Amino acid sequence: MSEYTEVERPFLDQLAQQGWTVIDQGSGIPQQAGPSLRSHFREWLLPGVFDDAVRRLNRTNDGQPWLTDAQLDELRQQLTRHSNRSLLEANESVQALLFKAQVGTNELTGESDPVVRLIDFHHPENNRFHAINQFRVDTPGCVKAFIVIERDGVVTVRPPARMTPEQIDQTVLSKRMWIYRSLAEWRELNGSRVNREWVSGETFMYLGSSYRLELVAEQDEPLKLKDGRFCLLKGIVNGAGTDGASKAFAAFYAAKGQPRLARRVAYFAPKVGVAAGRVEVKDLGYRWASCLKGGDLHFHWKCLMAPLTIIDYVVVHELCHLRHRDHSNAFWNEVDKVLPDYQRRKEWLRVRGVELDI
C-alpha cells in the first residue's frame, strides 16, 4: 500500500472539496520551494499568502484594508524570528500573537497600537486554508543524511561530506524507530524469498507467468522454454550444481531480454522525449536497472521474470533518469506523464520483487 495514494491524496481531495487551496507535491522529497509558495525551504510561513489573507481580514469600517506593506513585514518577523528562545518559548509567543497581534498605528484612522487579526476565530469562513503535502522545511544550517533499507536488508546511511561522525550517529539515533519499522516490513516482505532445490516440478517466472521445471537428459541447449515448461539439462544440475543451473537461467533471461527491452526502450524514449544509448541486460546485484551518464541503459535479467506492465515501468523509470538524475518531484512528474498508474506498478515491484529470483 502506498501512503501517498491511499492516505495523502484522498485526504487532499477531501480538503479541496471543502474549499481549501490544495498543492499536491506528489510522493517524493521536493527539490524546488516555488511550488509550495516559498522562495526557499527555510521558510515555514507562506509570505504572499500571509500578506493577502491578513490584509483582507483587517479593514476599516468602510471596508478599506489598512495594513501597510511595512506593517505586514513586521508581523511576519514577529511570527518567525525567535532567536535565543527555546522551542516551548517560541511556540508560546506564536500562540499569543495568533490571539492578539499589534502594530504601531492604523495610518488610515490614526488609532494607536491597533489589534491585528491574524485569524478570524468568530467567523472561520473568512479565513483561507491551504493544504500542502511533503512540506519540506530545512532548519538553518541543517545537514541531512539519507537512510535507506537496501533490497538485501542492509541499512545504508548516505551522509553529505560535511557531516561529522557525531551528526551521523545522532541522525541514525533520531530515526531508530523508522529503521525498526522498515526492517520489520522488509523481513515480512522477504518471508517469501525463493529457495531452490532444482528438481522437476519447481516453478519459475517468465514475463509474469509461471512455468514448471523439467530436468531432461538431452537437448541442444542448456535451457529451453518448450511446450509450457522450462527444460533444463539434468547434467548441468548434476555436474555444476546450483551455480550452474542459476547461470543457465540467467543466460536465458539475458538473451531473451536484450531484444525485448531494446524494443520497449525504443517505444518509450520518444514519449519521454529522450534519446537512449545502448541497452544491456546483466546482473546488477540489488538494482533493477541503471542509467549511465552517456545514455546507455542496463537492466537486471531478473526484470524478465516480471509482468510486462512492470517491465515497462522499469524502462520508463530509467528513461526519465535521462532527464532527471534524482527522484525529485520533477522526475516523478515525468514518469506520471507516460505512466499515470506508475504508483501501482512501483508498489507491485516493492512488494512482489522478492519473488523474482532463482
CATH number at residue 336: 3.30.2010.10
Query: Is the same domain home to 26 and 156?
Result: no
* Average per-residue pLDDT for the chain: 86
Percent residues over pLDDT 90 in the chain = 42
Distance CA(135)–CA(122), nearest Å, equals 28
In a domain, 95, yes or no: yes
Distance CA(44)–CA(251), nearest Å, equals 54
The DSSP secondary-structure symbol of 61 reads T
Query: Is the same domain home to 343 and 207?
Result: yes
In a domain, 197, yes or no: no
Domain end marker among 102, 132, 162? 132
Query: Is the same domain home to 65 and 116?
Result: yes
Query: Is the same domain home to 214 and 337?
Result: yes
The pLDDT value recorded for residue 158 is: 77
C-alpha triplet 284, 146, 274: angle, nearest 5°: 50
Distance CA(301)–CA(258), nearest Å, equals 9
In a domain, 303, yes or no: yes
Distance CA(210)–CA(230), nearest Å, equals 10
Query: Is the same domain home to 271 and 340?
Result: yes
Domain count, the chain: 3
The answer, yes or no, to whether residue 73 has pLDDT greater than 50, is yes
Query: Is the same domain home to 269 and 182?
Result: no
In a domain, 278, yes or no: yes
In a domain, 139, yes or no: no
Query: Is the same domain home to 314 and 213?
Result: yes
Where would I find the H helices in the chain?
3, 9-17, 47-57, 69-80, 87-99, 165-174, 176-189, 234-272, 308-320, 329-338, 342-352
Query: Is the same domain home to 120 and 159?
Result: no
Query: Is the same domain home to 87 and 212?
Result: no
In a domain, 62, yes or no: yes
State the Rg of the chain over Cα.
29
Reported as a single tens digit per residue, the pLDDT across 166-175 is 778 888 888 8
The pLDDT value recorded for residue 1 is: 44
Distance CA(92)–CA(88), nearest Å, equals 6
Residue with the larger pLDDT of the pair 255 and 43: 255
Q: What is the pTM of this model?
A: 0.52
The pLDDT value recorded for residue 141 is: 53
Identify the CA nearest to 51 among candidates 34, 35, 33, 75: 75
Asked if 356 contacts 314 with a C-beta cutoff of 8 angstroms, the reply is: no
In a domain, 217, yes or no: yes
Query: Is the same domain home to 241 and 288?
Result: yes
Query: Is the same domain home to 340 and 215?
Result: yes
Query: Is the same domain home to 180 and 208?
Result: no
Which contacts of 11-18 are long-range, i.e. CB under 8 A and separated by 24 or more positions?
12/131, 12/133, 15/129, 15/131, 16/131, 18/129
Q: Which domain holds residue 266?
A: 203-355
The answer, yes or no, to whether residue 269 has pLDDT greater than 90, is yes
In a domain, 141, yes or no: no
The answer, yes or no, to whether residue 106 has pLDDT greater than 50, is yes
Residue with the larger pLDDT of the pair 272 and 87: 272
- pLDDT-derived band of residue 193, with 50, 70 and 90 as boundaries? low
The answer, yes or no, to whether residue 202 has pLDDT greater than 60, is yes
